[in-house]
Amino acid sequence: MFRATFLQRFVLAGTLLAVAVAKNSGSSDQEDAMFSSVSIPIQHSFQTGSDAEFRERGFLSFKSLSQGRGSYRQTVDLSTDDSNLLKELALEGGLYRARVPTQLLSLQYSDDIGYVSSYVKACSLLESNMSDDITIHADQSGHVLGISILPSRGTCTKSSEEILAMEVLFFNTTVSLSLTVSGPVPETQAYLDKLEEEKMQKTANGQDNRSFFAKY
Residue 14 has pLDDT above 60, yes or no: no
55 contacts 76 by C-beta, under 8 angstroms: yes
List beta partners, residue 144.
Answer: 138
Out of 22-26, 41-45, 61-65, 196-200, which region has the weakest mean confidence (pLDDT)? 22-26
Q: Determine the average pLDDT of the residues in 175-199.
A: 77
Nearest in space to 125 (alpha carbons), one of 103, 95, 82, 88: 95
How do residues 103-160 score in pLDDT, each as one tens digit? 886 555 555 678 999 999 999 999 999 999 999 999 888 889 999 999 998 889 999 9
Report CA dihedral (193, 198, 202, 204) to the nearest 10 degrees.
50
Nearest in space to 163 (alpha carbons), one of 200, 124, 215: 124
Put the strands of the sheet holding 68-74 in their side by side order: 115-121, 95-101, 38-45, 55-62, 68-74, 172-179, 131-138, 144-151
Q: What is the distance between the alpha carbons of residues 142 and 65, in angstroms, rounded to a whole number? A: 7
